[in-house]
Structure 1
Amino acid sequence: MYTTKSGLILGFHGCDEHVALDILLQKIKFKPSENKYDWLGKGMYFWENSPSRAEQFITNLYNNPQKDKPKIEKPTVLGAVIDLGFCLDLTDYYCLQTLKDAYEYYCDLQISSGWEILENTNPKNFLGNPDNLWRQLDCAVINLHHKFREDNELLPYDSVRGVFVEGNELYPTAGFRDKNHIQLSIINPNCIKGFFLPREKE
């Protein structure tokens, strides 16, 4: 019963300016990401309460264009007011155990079908980051978890929330890294109550 979150939070997404404005004016819808390496499975991605991290991410993409991604013309941060609803919250012990069960189910399914068990990988020098940025395994397990619930007519998750330790040590022997963040994957678009452009403090 504690998996349903109460209250509203703010999420931030880095994108090109024209995309942000078109979403604000409701000319286009916010499209969910469905890459095989997405950290939290399919969904609409936001940094929780961190416009600065969203800005750093999209600026990095602007400075380091990716061959398989549209070129960023003007880096922009889009804000969203979000109700997480029924959330697979991977900061919660119970949710972590359900995901571990989903991993074991995934392994049994892959082995019995003669398919490979995916791994999270570190693409060489991707944006200069040493972490396993391509989360093929995590993505597959989370998506299978959703499919299992759907097939068994269980209440579907509205969102997924996870804490990620990422980047370099903040200082020697630090227990913190310079890109630690909380990431959100919004599955149910009705969780997003509105969009806005962040403003500077006066």
Structure 2
Amino acid sequence: MYDFRPNTIIGFHGCDLEIRNKLVNDPNHIEISKKPYDWLGHGMYFWENNYTRALEWATKRANEGTIKTPAVLGAILQLGQCCDFLDSKFTNLISSYYLLMESEYEKAGKQLPKNIDVPDDPYEDKLVRKLDCATIEHMHKTILNIHKEELSINGYSDTVVFDSTRGAFSEGGPAFTGAGITRKSHIQVCIRNMNCIKGFFIPREEVPFPVL
């Protein structure tokens, strides 16, 4: 009964300025990420209540030359039926789907994908998360197939298809000497059902308050 997330949250998406403006002006044409190393599976990604991290991400991509002008897109989100990895119910769930996937790979004589480091990451945070992505997508695919089968047989389904996934991540090394807090700790949200996105906006800059 606590799986549905009806509350509204603010998400921030780091991107190129052109993409930000396009989505603000034409919010119904969304391209989702389907990279094999997406941390929470396929969908549209947001940093939950973390404008600074979104801008850092976009700035890094601009410095690498993969985008032209770094920008941040704001979004009003409701997560709906959320596979929330901050909830033990769902970490247990994904563990069970990993075992199913592991068995299928073994029967097929295939090797499981792995989470691996990138060469320029001194903290070894396993930033390329092919195993996580494959496991999450395996879960979503299995659940969707069960849902469709139940609909076909019964005309209805009791199997819930997830609208979104959510997770907390430690990244970037200690914030200070001896710290357990990491510099890039964040909560990430992946939207699968685009109806969870209620609208986009251009984040405004803060001004001093109170004004004297």
Q: TM-score band (shorter)?
A: over 0.9
Q: In the alignment, what sits opposite 2:202?
A: 197
Q: Is the 8 A contact 1:40 1:162 kept in 2?
A: yes
Q: Is the 8 A contact 2:27 2:200 kept in 1?
A: no
Cα displacement (A) at 1:60: 0.8
Q: In the alignment, what sits opposite 1:31?
A: 31
Identity, in percent, stands at 38
Cα displacement (A) at 1:200: 1.1
Give, as a single letter, the amino acid of the residue that structure 2 aligns with 1:180.
S
Cα displacement (A) at 1:27: 7.0
How many residues are treated as equivalent by the alignment? 196
Q: In the alignment, what sits opposite 1:68?
A: none
CA–CA distance in structure 2, aligned partners of residues 47 and 151 of structure 1: 30
CA–CA distance in structure 2, aligned partners of residues 129 and 31 of structure 1: 31
- C-alpha deviations, 1:52-86, integer Å up to 9, x for none? 00000000111123xxxxx3211100000000000
- Paired residue secondary structure (1:8): strand
Q: Is the 8 A contact 1:80 1:193 kept in 2?
A: yes
Please provide the CA RMSD for this pair: 1.3
CA–CA distance in structure 1, aligned partners of residues 37 and 67 of structure 2: 21
Tell me which structure has the larger Cα radius of gyration: 2
Give, as a single letter, the amino acid of the residue that structure 2 aligns with 1:104.
L
* Residue 120 of structure 2 is aligned to residue 120 of structure 1: no
* Residue 62 of structure 2 is aligned to residue 62 of structure 1: yes
Residue of 117, 131, 153 corresponding to 1:137: 131
Q: Is the 8 A contact 1:22 1:28 kept in 2?
A: no
Q: In the alignment, what sits opposite 1:155?
A: 160
Q: Is the 8 A contact 2:74 2:201 kept in 1?
A: yes
Q: Report the structure, 1 or 2, having the larger strand content.
A: 2
CA–CA distance in structure 2, aligned partners of residues 140 and 27 of structure 1: 29
Give, as a single letter, the amino acid of the residue that structure 1 aligns with 2:93.
T
Give, as a single letter, the amino acid of the residue that structure 2 aligns with 1:173.
G
Equivalence map 1:103-114=2 (5 Å): 103-114=98-109
CA–CA distance in structure 2, aligned partners of residues 112 and 2 of structure 1: 36
Give, as a single letter, the amino acid of the residue that structure 1 aligns with 2:16.
D
Cα displacement (A) at 1:130: 3.0
Q: In the alignment, what sits opposite 2:53?
A: 53
Give, as a single letter, the amino acid of the residue that structure 1 aligns with 2:125.
D
Q: Is the 8 A contact 2:46 2:190 kept in 1?
A: yes
CA–CA distance in structure 2, aligned partners of residues 114 and 3 of structure 1: 36
Gaps spanning 5+ residues in structure 2: where?
148-158, 208-212
Give, as a single letter, the amino acid of the residue that structure 1 aligns with 2:60.
N
Query: Which structure 1 residue ranges, 4+ long, deviate > 6 Å from structure 2?
Result: none
CA–CA distance in structure 2, aligned partners of residues 110 and 160 of structure 1: 24
Q: What TM-score, normalized by structure 2, do the two folds share?
A: 0.89
* Residue 93 of structure 2 is aligned to residue 88 of structure 1: no
Gaps spanning 5+ residues in structure 1: where?
66-70
- C-alpha deviations, 1:17-54, integer Å up to 9, x for none? 11111111107722110000000000100000001000
Cα displacement (A) at 1:109: 0.7
* Residue 108 of structure 2 is aligned to residue 102 of structure 1: no
Q: In the alignment, what sits opposite 1:2?
A: 2
Give, as a single letter, the amino acid of the residue that structure 2 aligns with 1:24.
V
